[in-house]
């Protein structure tokens, strides 16, 4: 076997050293495109996943979100929960929120919306809400009778034409809000927020105290407590610590939420991703096989000669396995250079999605390793199969090229 | 050394079968230089390919040093081709991407010799055919005669029991043909190499000990040209 490997590698080495360099470059170029095909789209989809999960962290859920136990509408004594949470090591900030359903009316136009009551100064460390005000200002700690309206329902942002909107609501406009309990309030629009995300731009924000008043809540009730952590990736541990600190409500990390909410939204994307990978793999396998098979056919006479002079079929098959592994390795290397060039380009110039969302492709080392292993496995199979089939033919037929 | 009994080779079956060899029998002694002659289509190349284990006989017996080789499994035939038999093709059959030395020493490597040892063997073989100084040239950089001498060096490097040559001078001019035949003669006379050569050129018989003539798949004459014992 060692002799077979030595002879196989000598044949492969000579073939590369003195073979046609233009053909080699063409094969490597095609293989690099096959590799790109395997990794590029999943990287873009990965970028979308990161964008969406980032938005979930930046707006509704933070890094960790605490919600009421199953049958309860509210977390009772949210201040006590906040106190426990803030005492946990690794927690950067936490705040409470009150969500309510309502309809908003402006000049006889009515839209349904979710209104979040929040503590404006605490949100500076928790969410991006204070930083996405496209017109007007964010709420202040003492803001009352004021509202922040999402751009889509205000009728000013991208997507307004898709959804019902209030028609050109501006800062200073007055809107009537009817809450789910029938209480009606008139608010002055303080600002328009534009987060390029439906969960944000179809919502409205008021001061926490407004919701408390409207629903007559006492004892610091909350529909959620949103937590941010110091270090990304520690959410799981901190979730456990919060539990250990005596918080008995439901605790979710953003990843838990992704599994339920985002995962549903991304399922169709995931299906496209899987199909794309599968098709890329089939196309890649076929192309690698075709390239190596043509290569083997062109060398059929050589294989016959080698057999005729006493070189074992195993050495010949191994030489093609080495050769195709070399081609594919160069293809992967070129593909990686091409891939990283494109990644850096698209990270500097993100793809604009929905006119406002910027998607930067994600470099996923696991995906790269998977693709490299897949390509190398394919190369071995693609090298072995045609060479094995030709090496089994009669010597004379191989020499005659039949 | 070689005993061939009633060797037959048919292509196809039934009435359309082509009978390339119709039952050929002969013996070749160790150290003989034998020419197989005959007109085109007489079966001489078919016979040589069977003797060199590149093709199978339809019927008959074929032994080398008492071993029935025609019925050997492919793996053993491959080993036999590597270690016992040298074959020189009409069109040189060199690997274009290998230098003269690589074309030769690949077989020594296959036999398990080290790279250094294989290279020394290759240089020794190339020296025998007068091409030691061109060991680094690839086939495209060599003349027809030189290519054929490299092919001979490849065939003799492993010191085979028998060297088969299929019209080795067919693509060469007279000068190059003489060079090749001189190499064969020297191998035969100096090293006692058994050589079986297919040719259709009458003047080539001046170099050989014996001429076997085939006609239409039958052996029609077996003539001693030179008795080595004399």
B176-201: pLDDT as tens digits:
788 888 888 888 888 888 999 998 88
pLDDT-derived band at A211, boundaries 50, 70, 90: very high
- Give the best residue of B78, B80, B116 to mutate against chain A (max A CB count within 10 A): B78
Closest CA to B220 of B32, B1, B98, B44: B44
| pLDDT attached to residue A98 | 94
Does the pLDDT value for residue A264 go beyond 70? no
Average pLDDT over residues A63-80: 90
Does the pLDDT value for residue B31 go beyond 60? yes
Last residue of a domain, one of A248, A273, A307: A248
Percent with pLDDT over 70 in chain B: 98
Specify if A64 maps to a domain: no
A104 shares its domain with A31: no
A32 shares its domain with A125: no
Does the pLDDT value for residue A183 go beyond 90? yes
pLDDT-derived band at A127, boundaries 50, 70, 90: very high
Q: Provide the 3-class DSSP secondary structure of residue A220.
A: coil
A328 shares its domain with A363: yes
Distance from CA of B173 to the nearest CA of A (A): 24
Does the pLDDT value for residue B40 go beyond 80? yes
Does the pLDDT value for residue B229 go beyond 60? no
A216 shares its domain with A339: no
Q: How many contacts does A have with B, using Cβ atoms within 8 A?
A: 72
Last residue of a domain, one of A201, A224, A248: A248
- Which domain does A297 fall in, by range? 2-55+261-400
Q: Poorest-confidence range of A154-158, A279-283, A336-340?
A: A154-158
Residues 286-315 of A with CB under 8 A from B: 302, 305-313, 315
pLDDT-derived band at B81, boundaries 50, 70, 90: confident
Contact B106 A7 (CB under 8 A): yes
Task: Please give the residue of chain A at the shortest CA–CA distance from B99.
Answer: A14
A84 shares its domain with A232: yes
Contact A14 B95 (CB under 8 A): yes
| pLDDT attached to residue A268 | 67
A147 shares its domain with A176: yes
pLDDT-derived band at A207, boundaries 50, 70, 90: very high
Contact A307 B110 (CB under 8 A): no
Does the pLDDT value for residue A277 go beyond 80? no
Contact A307 B78 (CB under 8 A): yes
Residues of B in contact with A308 (CB under 8 A): 52, 54, 81, 87, 89, 93
For the question of whether the overall pTM of this predicted structure is more than 0.80, the answer is no
| pLDDT attached to residue A263 | 61
Chain centroid offset of residue B25 CA: 19
Q: What is the overall mean pLDDT for chain B? A: 85
| pLDDT attached to residue A88 | 93
A325 shares its domain with A183: no
A324 shares its domain with A366: yes
| pLDDT attached to residue A124 | 92
Largest CA distance in chain B: 56
Kindly state whether A11 is in contact with chain B, defined as any CB-CB distance less than 8 angstroms.
Answer: yes
- Give the best residue of B110, B112, B140 to mutate against chain A (max A CB count within 10 A): B110
Average pLDDT over residues A285-294: 78
More confident residue, B176 or A9: A9
Q: Which residues of B touch A (CB under 8 A)?
A: 49, 52, 54-55, 75, 78-79, 81-83, 85, 87, 89, 93-98, 102, 106-107, 109-112, 115, 138, 154-155, 158
Specify if A62 maps to a domain: no
Specify if A254 maps to a domain: no
ipTM: 0.81
A268 shares its domain with A175: no
Give chain A's domain count.
Answer: 2
A213 shares its domain with A339: no
pLDDT-derived band at A266, boundaries 50, 70, 90: low
Q: Which of B55, B81, B109 sits opposite A3 (nearest CB)?
A: B109
Show contacts of A331-334: CB within 8 Å, 24+ apart: A331/A27, A331/A28, A331/A29, A331/A30, A331/A31, A331/A32, A331/A34, A331/A35, A331/A375, A332/A31, A332/A32, A332/A35, A332/A372, A332/A375, A332/A376, A333/A32, A334/A28, A334/A29, A334/A31, A334/A32, A334/A35
| pLDDT attached to residue A157 | 64
| pLDDT attached to residue A334 | 94
Contact B102 A17 (CB under 8 A): no
Specify if A229 maps to a domain: yes
A120 shares its domain with A214: yes
A94 shares its domain with A220: yes
Specify if A121 maps to a domain: yes
């Amino acid at each position: 076997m060692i002799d077979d490997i030595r002879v196989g590698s000598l044949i492969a080495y000579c073939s590369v050293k003195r073979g046609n360099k233009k053909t080699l470059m063409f094969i490597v170029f095609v293989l690099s495109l096959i590799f790109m095909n395997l990794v590029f789209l999943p990287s873009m989809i990965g970028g979308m996943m990161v964008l969406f999960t980032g938005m979930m962290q930046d707006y509704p859920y933070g890094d960790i979100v605490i919600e009421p136990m199953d049958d309860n509408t509210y977390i009772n004594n949210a201040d006590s929960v906040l106190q426990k949470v803030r005492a946990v090591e690794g927690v950067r900030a936490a705040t409470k929120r009150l969500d309510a359903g309502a309809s908003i009316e402006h000049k006889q136009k009515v839209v349904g919306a979710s209104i979040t009551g929040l503590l404006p100064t605490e949100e500076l460390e928790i969410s991006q809400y204070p930083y996405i005000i496209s017109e007007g200002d964010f709420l202040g700690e003492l803001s009352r009778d004021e509202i922040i309206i999402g751009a889509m329902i205000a009728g000013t942002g991208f997507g307004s034409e898709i959804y019902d909107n209030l028609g050109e609501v501006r800062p200073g406009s007055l809107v009537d809000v009817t809450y789910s309990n029938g209480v009606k309030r008139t608010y002055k629009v303080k600002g328009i927020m534009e987060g390029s995300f439906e969960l944000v731009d179809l919502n409205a924000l008021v001061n926490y105290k407004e919701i408390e008043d409207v629903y007559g809540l006492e004892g610091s009730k909350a529909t959620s407590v949103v937590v941010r952590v110091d270090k990304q990736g520690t959410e799981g541990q901190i979730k456990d610590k919060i539990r250990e600190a005596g918080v008995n409500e439901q605790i979710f990390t953003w990843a838990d939420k992704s599994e339920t909410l985002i995962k549903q939204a991304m399922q169709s994307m995931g299906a496209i991703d899987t199909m794309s990978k599968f098709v890329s793999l089939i196309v890649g396998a076929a192309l690698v096989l075709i390239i190596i098979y043509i290569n083997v056919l062109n060398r059929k006479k050589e294989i016959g000669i080698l057999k005729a002079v006493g070189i074992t079929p195993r050495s010949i098959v191994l030489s093609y396995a080495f050769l195709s592994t070399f081609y594919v390795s160069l293809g992967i290397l070129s593909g990686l250079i091409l891939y990283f060039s494109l990644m850096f380009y698209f990270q500097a110039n993100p793809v604009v999605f929905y006119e406002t969302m910027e998607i930067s492709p994600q470099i996923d080392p696991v995906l790269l390793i998977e693709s490299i292993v897949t390509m190398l496995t394919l190369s071995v199979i693609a090298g072995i199969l045609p060479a094995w089939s030709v090496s089994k033919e009669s010597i004379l037929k191989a020499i005659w090229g039949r | 050394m070689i005993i061939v009994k009633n060797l037959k080779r048919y292509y196809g079956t039934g009435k359309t079968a082509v009978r390339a060899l119709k039952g050929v029998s002969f013996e070749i002694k160790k150290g003989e230089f034998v020419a197989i002659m005959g007109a085109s289509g007489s079966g001489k190349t078919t016979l040589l390919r069977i003797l060199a284990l590149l093709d199978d006989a339809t019927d008959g017996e074929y032994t080398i040093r008492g071993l029935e080789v025609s019925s050997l499994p492919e793996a053993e035939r491959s080993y036999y081709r590597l270690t016992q038999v040298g074959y020189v093709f009409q069109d040189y059959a060199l690997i274009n991407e290998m230098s003269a030395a690589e074309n030769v020493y690949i077989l020594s490597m296959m036999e398990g010799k080290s790279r250094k040892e294989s290279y020394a063997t290759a240089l020794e073989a190339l020296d025998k055919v007068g091409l030691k100084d061109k060991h680094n040239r690839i086939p495209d950089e060599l003349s027809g005669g030189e290519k054929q001498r490299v092919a001979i060096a490849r065939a003799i490097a492993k010191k085979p029991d028998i060297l088969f040559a299929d019209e080795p001078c067919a693509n060469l001019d007279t000068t190059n043909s003489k060079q090749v035949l001189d190499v064969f003669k020297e191998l035969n006379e100096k090293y006692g190499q058994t050589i079986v050569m297919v040719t259709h050129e009458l003047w080539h018989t001046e170099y050989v000990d014996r001429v076997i003539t085939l006609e239409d798949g039958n052996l029609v004459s077996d003539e001693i040209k030179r008795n080595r014992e004399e």
